[in-house]
């Protein structure tokens, strides 16, 4: 009986080592997967912030054009930039390339000339990023103004 007990103990000695190695491999794989998810979430969040800034930069282009239209005396036409106007912004929007294009149409209504401006503002390329690069964002806004 004693020899049978000794033989059983010898057969069971390596079992805990196999279990420990299995747990280490599984926990290491879970840790690596969690790091992958964390990195993807951080990149997604960063692109979301850049997209919001690009939108604000494009909106600044529309507001620049609206200011120029509104500052013209009554009955005079604002001369749209040809072919486009590049704007330099400050602060966190300085990294974006902003361009504004415009098309003008005029109508006479009741003896008064009304000018309609179709304005398109585009903000793109953070820090020189090009189309296809992972950190490239672009936002385009259009507006129609009349005076």
Number of neighbouring beta carbons within 10 Å of residue 53: 20
Q: Where are the domains of the chain?
A: 2-146
42-101: pLDDT as tens digits: 888 888 888 999 999 999 999 999 999 999 887 788 888 878 888 888 888 888 989 999
> pTM for this structure?
0.74
pLDDT > 70: percent of the chain = 89
- Report the C-alpha gap between 13 and 16 in whole angstroms: 7
The CA distances from residue 143 to 58, 59, 83, 88, 116, in Å, are: 11, 10, 17, 20, 10
Please measure the distance between the N-terminal and C-terminal CA atoms of the chain and give it in whole angstroms: 107
Contact between 114 and 107 (Cβ < 8 Å):
yes
Residue 8's pLDDT is what?
Answer: 64
């Amino acid at each position: 009986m004693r020899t049978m007990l000794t033989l059983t103990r010898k057969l069971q000695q390596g079992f805990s080592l196999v279990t420990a190695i299995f747990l280490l491999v599984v926990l290491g794989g879970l840790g690596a997967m969690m790091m992958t998810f964390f990195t993807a979430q951080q990149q997604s969040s960063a692109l979301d912030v850049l997209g919001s800034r690009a939108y604000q930069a494009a909106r600044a282009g529309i507001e620049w054009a609206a200011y120029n239209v509104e500052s013209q005396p009554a009955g005079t036409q604002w001369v749209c930039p040809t072919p486009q106007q590049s704007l330099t912004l400050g602060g966190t929007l300085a990294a974006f390339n902003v361009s504004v294009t415009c098309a003008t149409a005029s109508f006479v209504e009741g003896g008064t000339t009304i000018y309609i401006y179709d304005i398109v503002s585009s903000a793109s390329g953070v820090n020189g990023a090009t189309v296809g690069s992972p950190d490239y964002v672009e936002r385009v806004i259009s507006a129609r103004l009349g005076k």
